[in-house]
A and B are shown apart, each in its own frame.
Chain A
Amino acid sequence: MKTPKNVETHVWRGGIPLESRYTAGLGGQIFFQALKERGELVGTRCAACKQVYVPARAFCERCFAELTEEVKVSPEGTLVSFTFSAYDRDANRLAEPVALALVKLDGATTTMLHRLLRVTSPEQVRIGARVKVVLKPKAKRTGSILDIEGFQLA
């Protein structure tokens, strides 16, 4: 076909309202209930695989077993990795980058992603540092991952 010359290209814009509900499930329920009511971090253990999954899960991804043994893990842990992200989800550059931390809580074999609080530059942070969970006060907790404010350097 001939490419049009000096002709405005025709485009149409479209979109839909896209919203969903997500069920936390039995595993998620255990985790969020403990977090909201007791301020505790609860996982499930697979004894066969020597895994402690936090947040709690209903099944083991390694051996396919149903998991029933609940385990409370420590609110302290080790910084596995971190980043300072300079963009928001809408791809706008932020005035101040957001710090994110990947943390292995003591007693867990999995890592947990959350914000890293009270740091402003990478020079203040090192992989392997000790960190601790900062929770919202009980009155403000709703049973969400945001009941955790984030991690802070211990």
Chain B
Amino acid sequence: MNGRVGIIGIGYTAAQPTTPYSSFKELMFEAAQRAYFDAGIDAAEVESFVTCAEDLNTGLSIFDEYTPDQLGAVQKPMHTLTQDGLHGIADAVMQIKSGLVEVVAVEAHSKASNILTPDWILDYAVDPIFNRPLGFNPHALAGLEMNLFLHETGITPQQVSQVAAKNRTNALRNPLAAYPARLTADDTAAGPYAHYPLRETEMAQTADGCVVVVLASDDKARAAASQPLWVRGIGFANDSPTLESRDWVHAEYTRIAAQMAYRMAGITNPAREIDFFEVDDTYAYKELQHLIALGLYPNRPGEAGRALEQGLTRPDGKTPVNVSGGCLGLGWTLEASGLYRIVELVLQLRGQAGPRQLPGAKMGLAQSWRGVPTTSGAVAILSSEQKPWE
């Protein structure tokens, strides 16, 4: 058996500001049915299941006990990761590469519209002894980081506003997106400050939705109903968890995760070898910070802002970023965010992205961050082609 792992099916619901009729289990059931149909398999053929969720976001304790039935996972190997969905993809890759199983389903969802105290949940993640007693809104950590990031890189507030405008506008071409809007940087720069220098318009709004991704071994992937996409690289990492000693300028968690993924994929020049990028933009400045950490601007980080201004990261640019609309345009679907990026990669690489199809896209990269107050990230690289030497 060789070590190749392919994505053979994706299933998803549209991201929506609210989903009043469907329970989270029904959202998962819908996405799972679509994923298994896309893969041309029955639920019974899935050998192992990974769900990605945070207990408090689901309003439940020990959430993993709430997941087998709606995925077809009853009496099957399954577990939950308290991580973004991209970590789930890494988990599935390891299960398949180890030879333990051949077909794995990865699920993540958001029912954010049912979370009544979202900022309190984030607050409960802030260090209870040294930080939480200060009593600040946890999104303020993004304001602090953005201020230093701009100071150190020379990236301007206007460029950050432009990220928000680009991604909201990109979402107009994505039927899955919850927050499409035709905006200019002047529009987004007119928004009030939420956590100076971070503006309200530069913060992603939550959305509900669910994604299921089916991964398989080489043999199973070749026999799949849909065109398989190959996981060429995967990586994940954390910086220091403490606010006191983490790196507040560089997204080290992404840099290290990317190095892992590049090593596995044999990539030495990501800007040239990878056709498009779907990266975390929960806060607009994060898109630029993450692109820098991915090594796209190795000479000077300030180039990230200039490349944006020159339109290089627009869908018609040299290095399209967040053609899907990102979290800003599609909606912030909590742990499902990374899997919506996988959906975009798969649709683009299959040539099924409709009005936003990138011509000739052969390799794409997805990157995730778990949000404040974490320093947890993951990177996945997918390609329609296998490595020539494999």
Give the chain A neighbours of B173 by CB distance below 8 A.
none
Interface size (B, Cβ < 8 Å)?
A: 44
How far, in angstroms, from A114 to B245 measured CA to CA in the complex? Answer: 15
Asked if A102 and B139 sit within 8 Å, CB to CB, the answer is no
Asked if B138 and A113 sit within 8 Å, CB to CB, the answer is no
Give the chain A neighbours of B148 by CB distance below 8 A.
80-81, 102, 127
Asked if A91 and B118 sit within 8 Å, CB to CB, the answer is yes
Interface residues of A (CB under 8 A from B): 1, 3-4, 9, 11, 13-14, 18, 20, 22, 24, 28, 51, 53-55, 61, 80-91, 97-98, 100, 102, 109-115, 122, 127, 144-146
Residue pairs across A and B with Cβ atoms less than 8 A apart, 27 shown, are A3-B21, A11-B114, A22-B128, A24-B129, A53-B245, A81-B151, A83-B143, A84-B143, A84-B196, A85-B139, A85-B143, A85-B195, A86-B192, A87-B119, A89-B120, A89-B123, A90-B119, A91-B137, A97-B193, A100-B134, A100-B140, A100-B143, A100-B144, A110-B242, A110-B245, A115-B134, A146-B134
How far, in angstroms, from A3 to B19 measured CA to CA in the complex? Answer: 11
Give the chain A neighbours of B129 by CB distance below 8 A.
22, 24, 28, 145
Question: CB of B82 within 8 A of chain A?
Answer: no
Minimum CB–CB distance for B301 against chain A, Å: 16
Given the interface contacts A85-B137, A113-B131, A127-B151, does A90 sit within 8 Å of B196 by beta carbon? no
Q: Which of A82, A85, A146 contacts B133 (CB 8 A)?
A: A146
Give the chain B neighbours of A112 by CB distance below 8 A.
244
**Which of chain B's residues 141-163 have a Cβ closer than 8 Å to chain A?**
143-148, 151
Residue in A closest to B20 when the chains form the complex, CB atoms = A9
Asked if B193 and A86 sit within 8 Å, CB to CB, the answer is yes
Given the interface contacts A1-B26, A81-B148, A86-B194, does A144 sit within 8 Å of B133 by beta carbon? yes
Give the chain B neighbours of A11 by CB distance below 8 A.
20, 114
Minimum CB–CB distance for A112 against chain B, Å: 6
Give the chain A neighbours of B134 by CB distance below 8 A.
100, 113-115, 145-146
Q: Which of B123, B137, B195, B248 contacts A111 (CB 8 A)?
A: B248
Given the interface contacts A20-B128, A100-B144, A145-B130, does A89 sit within 8 Å of B136 by beta carbon? yes
Give the chain A neighbours of B243 by CB distance below 8 A.
102, 111, 113
Asked if B195 and A84 sit within 8 Å, CB to CB, the answer is yes
Residue in B closest to A16 when the chains form the complex, CB atoms = B61
In addition to A11-B114, A102-B248, A145-B129, 14 A-B residue pairs with Cβ atoms within 8 Å of each other are A3-B21, A54-B244, A80-B248, A84-B196, A85-B195, A88-B135, A89-B119, A91-B118, A102-B144, A111-B244, A112-B244, A113-B144, A122-B196, A146-B133
Q: Which of B116, B118, B131, B198 contacts A83 (CB 8 A)?
A: B198
Give the chain A neighbours of B248 by CB distance below 8 A.
80-81, 102, 111
Give the chain B neighbours of A145 by CB distance below 8 A.
129-131, 133-134
Given the interface contacts A55-B244, A61-B245, does A81 sit within 8 Å of B144 by beta carbon? yes
Minimum CB–CB distance for B204 against chain A, Å: 15
How far, in angstroms, from A76 to B195 measured CA to CA in the complex? Answer: 25
Asked if B119 and A4 sit within 8 Å, CB to CB, the answer is no
Q: Which of B114, B136, B151 contacts A100 (CB 8 A)?
A: B136
**Which of chain B's residues 230-270 have a Cβ closer than 8 Å to chain A?**
240, 242-245, 248
Give the chain B neighbours of A115 by CB distance below 8 A.
134
How far, in angstroms, from A14 to B192 measured CA to CA in the complex? Answer: 33
Given the interface contacts A84-B193, A90-B117, does A14 sit within 8 Å of B59 by beta carbon? yes
Residue in A closest to B19 when the chains form the complex, CB atoms = A9
Minimum CB–CB distance for A24 against chain B, Å: 6
Residue of A20, A24, A91, A113 with most partner-chain B CB within 10 A:
A113
Minimum CB–CB distance for B363 against chain A, Å: 35
Residue in B closest to A80 when the chains form the complex, CB atoms = B148
Residue of B116, B117, B140 with most partner-chain A CB within 10 A:
B140
How far, in angstroms, from A83 to B134 measured CA to CA in the complex? Answer: 14
How far, in angstroms, from A146 to B130 measured CA to CA in the complex? Answer: 9
Asked if A53 and B147 sit within 8 Å, CB to CB, the answer is no
Asked if A83 and B140 sit within 8 Å, CB to CB, the answer is yes
Minimum CB–CB distance for A18 against chain B, Å: 8
How far, in angstroms, from A87 to B137 measured CA to CA in the complex? Answer: 6
Give the chain B neighbours of A13 by CB distance below 8 A.
116
Give the chain B neighbours of A97 by CB distance below 8 A.
193, 196
Residue in B closest to A8 when the chains form the complex, CB atoms = B20
Question: CB of B320 within 8 A of chain A?
Answer: no
Minimum CB–CB distance for B24 against chain A, Å: 12
Minimum CB–CB distance for A32 against chain B, Å: 9
Asked if A9 and B136 sit within 8 Å, CB to CB, the answer is no
How far, in angstroms, from A28 to B131 measured CA to CA in the complex? Answer: 13
Asked if B147 and A127 sit within 8 Å, CB to CB, the answer is yes
